[in-house]
């Protein structure tokens, strides 16, 4: 008959000692318990205000962009700080308010899921998530890396050509609620 005793030296070693005719001691490493963290997704709200003005005198009234294109947001943060979404996320979701004033007069409201921008936006905007809390925004001919640690405000000028009409966009970006959030069950 064998008598064994087990001693656990938490959390890394287990010592097993057995006695029959000979004393035998075996030391075995124990793997650390794995704690499964729920996946978190990046979310932020962007408020973009762009003042458009002509840089030449060839712009016509037909070159103006006007009208509102307000789509309900498909991503939001609940009171319990969980992310609510109608569309599955892979990496990030952004809610974007874009307002054009000056030569153009238009408002856009939409959610960008993993960088997808609706086709209703009349000029080139692209967004992608970089490592850390950085969103790279391509707005017409400008690329800006927005560091989301805090509540940044960014300003830049971008140029656009619509046929013979040349426009300058003076862009101001404000962000809100930036962070990593778990999905609501």
**pLDDT tens digits, one per residue of 8-51:** 545 554 555 555 555 555 556 666 777 777 888 999 999 999 99
What's the 3-state SS for 110-138? EEEECCCCCCCCCCCEEEEEECCCEEEEE
Neighbours of 143 (CB within 10 A): 12
The dihedrals phi and psi of 105, each to the nearest 5 degrees, come to: -145, 95
- The one-character DSSP state at 72 is P
Write out the two tokens for 22: 């000979």
Q: Domain locations in the chain? A: 1-36, 40-182
**Token pair for 122:** 């009349």
For the entire predicted model, the pTM comes to 0.76
Q: Is the pLDDT of residue 110 over 90?
A: yes
């Amino acid at each position: 008959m064998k008598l064994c005793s087990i001693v656990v030296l938490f959390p890394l070693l287990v010592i097993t000692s057995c006695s029959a005719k000979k004393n035998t001691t075996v030391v075995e490493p124990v793997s650390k318990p794995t704690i499964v963290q729920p996946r978190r997704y990046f979310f932020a709200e962007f408020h973009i205000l762009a003042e458009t003005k002509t840089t030449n005198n060839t712009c016509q009234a037909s070159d103006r962009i006007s009208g509102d294109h307000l789509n309900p947001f498909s991503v939001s943060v609940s009171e319990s700080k969980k992310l609510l979404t109608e569309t599955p996320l892979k990496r990030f979701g952004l809610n974007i308010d874009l307002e054009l004033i000056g030569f153009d007069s238009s408002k856009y409201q939409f959610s960008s899921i993993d960088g997808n921008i609706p086709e209703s936006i009349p000029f080139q905007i692209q967004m992608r998530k970089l490592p850390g809390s950085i969103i790279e925004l391509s707005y017409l001919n400008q690329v800006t890396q927005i560091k989301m640690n805090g509540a940044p405000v960014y300003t830049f000028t971008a140029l656009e050509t619509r046929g013979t009409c040349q426009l300058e966009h003076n862009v101001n970006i404000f962000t809100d609620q930036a962070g990593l959030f778990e999905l609501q069950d």
